[in-house]
């Protein structure tokens, strides 16, 4: 086993003999092997990666810390592992199994005299491991972030009146791929004008015009790791209200960054940012949380939200992304991704945040 698998094996509750992990992200996290299907079966003594013919050769060459076990009939191979290790109870990755998949695995286990445990326990153990990032993981996220920033810097040069949101979004995605990204972290958000009041608006044929805010909520994927950044730029000119809103979000985001440090409680960071925005007269205009963890998934633990009691620790990676959204008018959001340190945070974003008028 490799060190991450050993850690998880040591965390298995006493009543449990094995665990089955099927999500693409968690299989990748523990074995470094990328596939669209596979079963990672972890016992206290050994880890097995069960894959079908399509992945057998690649897994044997590249999977880390596990015995690669090609299968024709999954139940046969699981049955052998159950017998070899005397397994009686198996924990499933609750968040990844559909009801149908769980029913199939339950049948395989019970045919072999074992029972399955359906709960969120395994997911919580894995979250404990994944919530802090190794320097190797952070390096990949920095690379993803650099690609994102370079793509945005090059793409904003194309923005002028009459260009559509979709044209800019497509260009950004193309540049990210050219710069070495595996893909985009999520469907890129490039929205302009009134649409910026919708935090997760989708780019369309809306033509960018002078006086518009343009929100870019974008990220690249690099070796499985995500980046996440939001910048709001203006085209041509801005009015006083736009300036006031931008300034408020800018200051709120700065307060948020200052509050992120080892030992701080997530919900307290959210409160500092939220109180500032509400006190500036924008209560009701900031309806999402202040930030979220990022890693192999775009949204991970911890959440910088009012309901999250998690204490920030060195090595966690979180976004700080307050916004103000005024329906029918416009919205502003500014987002950076940071690594928590003992006494503050390391900002992975370097693109300036002062109001930029293109
Ligand atoms: Mn985000």
pLDDT tens for 145-200 read: 999 999 999 999 999 999 999 999 999 999 999 999 999 999 999 999 999 999 99
Give just the sign of the alpha carbon dihedral 60, 63, 65, 69.
negative
Q: CATH 3.90.230.10 region(s) of the chain?
A: 135-347
Cβ-Cβ contacts under 8 Å for 268 (sequence gap 6 or more): 259
How many whole angstroms from 218 Cα to the centroid of ligand 1? 8
Q: How far apart are CA 26 and CA 130, in angstroms?
A: 9
For residue range 239-264, what is the model confidence (pLDDT) as tens digits?
999 999 999 999 999 999 999 999 99
Residues 6 or more apart whose Cβ sits within 8 Å of residue 243: 355
How many A from CA of 185 to the centre of ligand 1? 10
Looking at residue 171, what is its pLDDT?
Answer: 98
Start-to-end CA span in the chain (Å): 53
CATH architecture label of 135-347: Alpha-Beta Complex (3.90)
The C-alpha atoms of residue 305 and residue 318 are separated, in whole angstroms, by 11
**Residue 321 C-alpha to ligand 1 middle, in angstroms?**
7
- pLDDT mean across residues, the chain: 98
**How far apart (Å, rounded) are the C-alpha atoms in residues 121 and 320?**
28
Q: How far is the CA of 158 from the centre of ligand 1 (A)?
A: 24
Name the fold adopted by 3-130.
Creatine Amidinohydrolase; Chain A, domain 1 (3.40.350)
Task: Please report which confidence band the pLDDT of residue 95 belongs to, taking 50, 70 and 90 as the band edges.
Answer: very high
Beta carbons within 8 Å of 119's beta carbon, 6+ residues apart: 91, 94
Task: Using the mean position of ligand 1's atoms as its centre, give its distance from the Cα of residue 205 in Å.
Answer: 24
Question: Can you read off the two tokens belonging to residue 74?
Answer: 């999954």
Average pLDDT over residues 285-301: 98
Sign of CA dihedral 23, 27, 33, 37: negative
Give the pLDDT confidence of 29-55 residue by residue, as tens digits: 999 999 999 999 999 999 999 999 999
Name the segment(s) of the chain with CATH classification 3.40.350.10: 3-130
């Amino acid at each position: 086993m490799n060190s991450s698998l050993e850690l998880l094996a040591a965390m298995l509750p006493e009543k449990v003999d094995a665990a089955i992990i099927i999500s693409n992200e968690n299989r990748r996290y523990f074995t470094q092997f990328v596939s669209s299907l596979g079963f990672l079966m972890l016992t206290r003594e050994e880890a097995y990666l069960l894959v079908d013919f399509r992945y057998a050769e690649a897994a044997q060459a590249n999977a880390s810390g596990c015995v690669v076990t090609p299968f024709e009939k999954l139940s046969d191979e699981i049955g052998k592992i159950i017998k070899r290790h005397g397994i009686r109870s198996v924990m499933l990755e609750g968040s990844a199994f559909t009801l149908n998949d769980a029913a199939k695995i339950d049948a395989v286990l019970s045919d072999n005299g074992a029972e399955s445990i359906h709960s969120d326990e395994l997911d919580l153990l894995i979250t404990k491991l994944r919530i802090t990032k190794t320097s190797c993981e952070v390096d990949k996220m920095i690379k993803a972030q650099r690609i994102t920033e370079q793509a945005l810097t090059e793409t904003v040069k194309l923005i002028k009146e009459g260009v559509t949101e979709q044209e800019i979004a497509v260009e950004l995605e193309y540049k990210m791929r050219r710069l070495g990204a595996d893909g985009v972290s999520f469907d890129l958000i490039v929205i302009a004008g009134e649409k910026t009041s919708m935090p997760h608006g989708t780019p369309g044929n809306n033509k960018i015009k002078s006086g518009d805010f343009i929100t870019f909520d974008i990220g690249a994927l690099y070796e499985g790791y995500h980046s996440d950044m939001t910048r709001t730029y203006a085209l041509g000119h801005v009015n006083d209200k736009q300036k006031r809103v931008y300034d408020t979000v800018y200051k709120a985001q700065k307060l948020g960054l200052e509050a992120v440090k080892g030992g701080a409680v997530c919900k307290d960071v959210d409160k500092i940012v939220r109180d500032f925005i509400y006190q500036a007269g924008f209560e009701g205009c900031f309806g999402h949380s202040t930030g979220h963890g990022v890693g192999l998934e775009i949204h991970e633990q911890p959440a910088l939200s009012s309901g999250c009691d998690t204490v920030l620790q060195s090595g966690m990676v979180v976004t700080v992304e307050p916004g103000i959204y005024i329906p029918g008018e416009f919205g502003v959001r500014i987002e950076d991704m940071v690594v928590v340190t003992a006494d503050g945070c390391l900002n992975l974003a370097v693109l300036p945040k002062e109001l930029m008028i293109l």
